[in-house]
């Protein structure tokens, strides 16, 4: 049995169907991708899994238990940790104080008296690689650092399942590579990861299984190699299926130019506040070439 199973989930807002009979699963110790164009319903499905949104129909099972009607708090206690697309750090607290707050909430009242000396806080800060920012206010650090802070804070509750919503946004190329290695290390420690991400290079290099959403429906599920060659996915992302046609070549050329322009703007300089710049909603959408085993 999978660690997480979301089955036939539908979410309707009035006459709008945001998620349409979607089913996904995540295994322990694995990295699973959830990808799709803007407006596909990825974050809404995340909200259903974590309890922020009640489904119109469908079920969510976690660790063998039906948690469809469980609260956010009870799911967190059961081992669900999450980061958000929009930065949610306590801006007036330092980086370390943010992680400490998460540890105190996780540990409850009895942990308050000894939490200031909690070695786990510093271990988590070191693990995500933001030691040099530990004593800076969260609203003064670069966006990429704030993303890693949220990662450390989510890990502070010792999750069995970590849900990451566009975690690489704001990271430069080297930081993204290091972040991918961190994800692999976490998975090796039996932490399951479900990741919404628009950086296809990252997704294809770390994910073992990928679910693709379009207009709320799961249109494909498979390994990186299978997803890369899936004609339905190509049509959803690129607007064509026949990749040998002249129109396909033109579309690919145009996409490369757009992706390059977006990539130039999606990374934030080190002296830019995490809360001082609005990043593009989309990042690279090119699906990189992978071999049969799913390696880029």
SS3 percent helix, strand, coil of the chain, rounded to 5, is 40, 20, 40
Rounded Cα gap, residues 112 and 106, in angstroms? 10
Bridge partners, 94 (sequence order): 137
Q: What percent of the chain has pLDDT over 70?
A: 76
The number of C-alpha atoms within 13 Å of 236 and in the hemisphere containing its C-beta is: 24
Output the DSSP codes for 8-73.
Answer: EEEEEETTEEEEEEEEEEE-TT-EEEEE-STTSSHHHHHHHHHTSS--SEEEEEETTEE-TT--HH
Q: Which of 42-56, 87-101, 182-196, 264-278 has the lowest mean pLDDT?
A: 264-278
- In this predicted structure, the answer to whether residue 165 has a pLDDT above a threshold of 50 is yes
- In this predicted structure, the answer to whether residue 263 has a pLDDT above a threshold of 90 is no
Categorize the per-residue pLDDT at 291 as very low, low, confident or very high, splitting at 50, 70 and 90: low
Residues 58-72 have pLDDT tens digits of 999 999 999 999 999
Q: What mean pLDDT do residues 80-91 have? A: 85
Domains, the chain, in order of start with CATH, read 4-88+159-266 (3.40.50.300)
- Give pLDDT, residue 233: 87
- In this predicted structure, the answer to whether residue 267 has a pLDDT above a threshold of 80 is no
- Give pLDDT, residue 220: 94
Residues belonging to the chain: 296
Residues 101-146 have pLDDT tens digits of 888 887 765 555 554 556 889 999 999 999 999 999 999 999 889 9
């Amino acid at each position: 049995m999978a660690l997480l199973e979301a089955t036939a989930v539908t979410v309707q807002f009035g006459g709008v169907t945001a998620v349409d009979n979607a089913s996904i699963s995540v295994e322990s110790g694995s990295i699973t991708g959830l990808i799709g164009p803007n407006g596909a319903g990825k974050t809404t499905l995340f909200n259903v899994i974590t309890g922020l949104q009640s489904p119109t129909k469908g079920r969510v099972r976690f660790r063998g238990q039906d948690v469809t009607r469980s609260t956010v708090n009870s799911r967190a206690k059961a081992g669900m940790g999450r980061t958000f697309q929009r930065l949610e750090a306590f801006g007036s607290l330092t980086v370390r104080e943010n992680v400490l707050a998460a540890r105190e909430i996780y540990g409850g009242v009895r942990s308050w008296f000894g939490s200031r000396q909690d070695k786990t806080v510093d271990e988590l800060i070191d693990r995500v690689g933001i030691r040099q920012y530990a004593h800076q206010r969260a609203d003064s650090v670069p966006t990429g650092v704030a993303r890693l802070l949220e990662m450390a804070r989510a890990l502070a509750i010792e999750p069995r399942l970590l849900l990451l919503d566009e975690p690489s946004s704001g990271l430069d190329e080297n930081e993204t590579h290091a972040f991918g290695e961190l994800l692999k290390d976490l998975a090796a420690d039996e932490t399951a990861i479900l990741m919404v991400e628009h950086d296809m290079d990252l997704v294809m290099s770390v994910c073992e299984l990928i679910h693709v959403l379009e207009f709320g429906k799961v249109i494909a599920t498979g390994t990186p190699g299978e997803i890369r060659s899936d004609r339905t996915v190509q049509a959803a992302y690129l607007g064509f299926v026949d990749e040998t046609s002249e129109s396909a070549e033109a579309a690919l050329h145009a996409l490369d130019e757009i992706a390059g322009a977006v990539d130039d703007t999606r990374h934030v300089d080190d002296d830019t506040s995490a809360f001082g710049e609005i990043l593009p909603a989309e990042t690279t959408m090119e699906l990189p070439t992978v071999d049969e085993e799913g390696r880029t």
